[in-house]
């Protein structure tokens, strides 16, 4: 665990969601590049299968039972936050779930727990990765 972050107060769940959004996007981009996609348009199009509120809500559903109590608490606080914007292209429930998912990833990034992030995101996208090897 990063010593600096242990001394620094925990950010708000919205700040964690912001951080988690970036960390999740990096994971997705790396996953797509590893698939051998090299054209930016194809990469951006493929990323939409993972970074939308609906996609993140599905990903959360795949890992929900694997979470610790502390992880669930951060998810719940972000899900229930009154500071959420009105979603433009998603249901309110998917948008709230995606925000909670991002806050969860942000928490782990803040705690410098890359191993846990990789485990959860690998589990969330396990089927996609298995389908890649079958192609």
pLDDT at res. 83: 75
pLDDT at res. 91: 87
Residue 1 pLDDT greater than 50, yes or no: no
Cα(113)–Cα(135) distance, integer angstroms: 32
Backbone angles phi, psi at 88, to 5 degrees: -95, -40
Cα(30)–Cα(73) distance, integer angstroms: 28
Buried b (16+ CB within 10 A) or exposed e, 93-124: ebbbbbbbbbbbbbbbbbbeeeebbeebbeeb
Specify whether 21 is catalytic: yes
User: If DSSP codes are grouped into helix, strand and coil, which group holds residue 83?
Assistant: coil
Structure tokens at 31: 């996953």
pLDDT at res. 5: 58
Tell me which architecture the domain covering 11-23+53-126 has in CATH.
Orthogonal Bundle (1.10)
Cα(81)–Cα(14) distance, integer angstroms: 8
Residue 108 pLDDT greater than 50, yes or no: yes
Share of the chain above pLDDT 90, in %: 76
Sign of the alpha-carbon torsion through 46, 37, 114, 130: positive
Work out the pLDDT band at 26, boundaries 50, 70, 90. Answer: very high
Average pLDDT of the residues in 30-42: 95
Cα(60)–Cα(67) distance, integer angstroms: 10
Residue 3 pLDDT greater than 60, yes or no: no
Between helix 53-63 and helix 40-51 the angle, nearest 10°, is 60
Work out the pLDDT band at 57, boundaries 50, 70, 90. Answer: very high
Cα(123)–Cα(59) distance, integer angstroms: 9
pLDDT at res. 45: 94
Catalytically annotated residue among 21, 45, 69, 128: 21
Tally Cβ neighbours within 10 Å of residue 23.
Answer: 18
Q: What is the pLDDT of residues 59-98, one digit of tens each?
A: 999 999 999 999 999 999 999 998 767 667 788 899 999 9
């Amino acid at each position: 665990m990063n010593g600096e972050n242990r001394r620094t107060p925990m950010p708000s769940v919205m700040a964690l969601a912001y951080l988690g959004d970036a960390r999740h996007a990096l994971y997705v981009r790396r996953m797509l590049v590893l698939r051998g996609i090299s054209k930016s348009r194809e990469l951006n199009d493929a990323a939409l299968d993972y970074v939308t509120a609906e996609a993140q809500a599905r990903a959360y559903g795949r890992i929900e039972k694997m979470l610790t109590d502390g992880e669930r608490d951060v998810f719940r606080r972000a899900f229930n936050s009154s500071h959420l914007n009105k979603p433009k292209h998603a249901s309110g429930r998917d948008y709230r779930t995606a925000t909670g998912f991002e806050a969860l990833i942000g928490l782990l990034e803040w705690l410098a727990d890359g191993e846990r992030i990789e485990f959860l995101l690998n589990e969330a996208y396990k089927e996609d990765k298995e389908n890649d090897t079958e192609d």
